[in-house]
Amino acid sequence: MDAAILARVQVWLNGNYDAETKATIEQLQKDNPDELADAFYRNLEFGTGGLRGIMGVGTNRMNKYTVGMATQGFANYLKKTYGDAPVKVAIGHDSRNNSRFFAETTANVFAANGCEVYLFEALRPTPELSFAIRYLGCQAGVVCTASHNPKEYNGYKAYWNDGGQLVPPHDKNVITEVEAITSVDEVKWSGGESRIQLMGKDMDAAYIEMVKGLSVYPDVIAKQHDLKIVYTPIHGTGITLVPDVLKAFGFTNVTVVDEQATPDGNFPTVVYPNPEESEAMHIGLQKAKALDADILLGTDPDSDRVGIGVKNHKGEWVLMNGNQTAVLAFAYMMEARRAKGIAQPNDMVISTIVTTEMINDVAKANNVACYNVLTGFKWIAELVKAKEGKENYIVGGEESFGLMIGDKTRDKDAISAVALLCEMAAYEKNQGRTLFDKMIDLYTQYGFYYENLISITKKGMNGQKEIAAMMEGYRTNPPATINGAQVVQLLDYQLQQGKNLVTGESWSIDLPKSNVLQFVTADGSKISARPSGTEPKIKFYFSVKTDLASRADFDAKLAELENKINGIVKDMQLK
């Protein structure tokens, strides 16, 4: 084993670590040295969003010690930022194994550092934590979750006083403070327990009232209150709020998927507890078919992602992708506000650079400003903050099944999204249509945009190097053609530069640096490559477009676009 890894192992065996941890390390030394090496070959990185990793012993794992050291660094930064002023921190967690333990560990360390801590009494959705930060006037927040990752993972999302995740300069400054904590002996583990207050039903009531205020057509819901809704929390936190929010909106016919209703960090019915995955929505689809429902909705463990299922133009149940869901939500919020007479001249919406450009077209047609930011809701939240008092934010979203409706939460919020998507389904049903019908109408109006995503996982010590090598290859030697179409533009967000590969013209990209590359072809296709910030993956996003003259052409045009994406994937040798 590498000498540096062995040195880290010895620190844990000889230091102030509990006996169970040391025993586990000794067992791994005997039985699984490769796993031990992976657990100690580096420190689990505190990235710009916080921590995320496999649970277990070691410097490269989520455990009491990595969580405690991260919290100590965060607390040190808060004290440097606010000085002697009182600091309040809100803390939440999801249904994952150890999430409550990590949340309590986090609360104890913050409290021992003199912070006033508001800890949710039990699991709650991530968006409620974002809401609570603003509602209570906190300086920071933390939620212990690994979102949609498999059961072996957990994580630690860090928030600032606006309820959004950390952005510059705070993200890098917190990372610096966290990396400065080199020993568990520097952590204040206890001594401030009296500064911890539990929160629960009162915060739930305030949050539900806020979400209820987002409704545009309560009168339509009153007419369609018995809309057949099937909902699955996929063993996560959504069960704590979604049924109550739907009731508050006025819906009376909600069926929860029993098999996935109980919060359970082992996620017994799925491999990936992610509504992006058809497998995670399979049981819900079966229930929706059996009940002849109007809409199926699913949320991930911390309830920031939402997936929906609807009947298509043939009456078959299908799952909408994240881009389609976003387009429907953006169009509804803009069109409904205009029809209701509540649209403002300074209304704005926010999308991201890897989300369908159809949103830009819809916004333009509705005379609403549309901004495109880097991937991640922290950038949406940051722009909302920058535009406060100048422009009126309505909705933001991205292709990864995330929506942020209204500005009272500053992270993606599947709870409010579920409610608004049901309202949208009720609105369409009131006109004898489905959400899928609406989607086709939008395609005929704005053009048939179609998107897909491929994620390539590269695990272990060499994974990050392989991903970095792939990006470097694309950056230094971009393809001249993709699927027979000439590549005419290269957008490099790391270099903050766009280049016309035909004329040689270049221009600056006015966004923060990010390791993203986009290739635009002569036929209007766009391919984006981006390493994940939270998982050992590199993601490739594909967007193609054609015209849709009539609803009758939908199937043929869809097959054409699917074939086009398949051709791109094959040509780029991604499968």
Cα 36–chain centre separation:
30
Q: Which residues pair with 539 in a beta bridge?
A: 455, 530
- Bond preceding residue 478 cis, omega within 30 of 0: no
Cβ contact 399:326 at 8 Å: yes
Contacts of 368 (CB under 8 A, 6+ apart): 334, 343, 347, 348, 349, 394
Does residue 147 carry a catalytic annotation?
yes
Residue with tokens 């016919």: 253
**Pick from 344, 378, 352, 287: nearest CA to 530:** 352
* H helix runs in 250-292, sequence order: 278-291
Q: Which residues pair with 394 in a beta bridge?
A: none
Phi, psi values for residue 106, rounded to 5°: -60, -45
Token pair, residue 156, equals 């630690």
Neighbouring C-alpha atoms within 13 Å toward the C-beta of 138:
26
Phi, psi values for residue 78, rounded to 5°: -60, -40
Which amino acid is it at 522?
A: A
Cβ contact 270:151 at 8 Å: no
Residue burial 48-80, b: 16+ Cβ < 10 Å; e: rest: bbbbbbbbbbbbbbbbbbbbbbbbbbbbbbbbe
> Which is the catalytic residue, given 147, 400, 525, 543?
147
Q: Cα(132)–Cα(410) distance, rounded to whole angstroms?
A: 11
Work out the burial of residue 182: count CB atoms within 10 Å of its CB; fewer than 13 is exposed, 13-18 middle, 19 or more buried.
Answer: exposed
Phi, psi values for residue 279, rounded to 5°: -60, -40
Cβ contact 360:370 at 8 Å: yes
Enclosing H/E stretch for 90: strand 88-93
Give 118-167 as a 3 state SS string. Answer: EEECCCCCHHHHHHHHHHHCCCEEEEECCCCCCCCEEEEEEEECCCCECC
Phi, psi values for residue 14, rounded to 5°: -105, -10
Active site members:
147
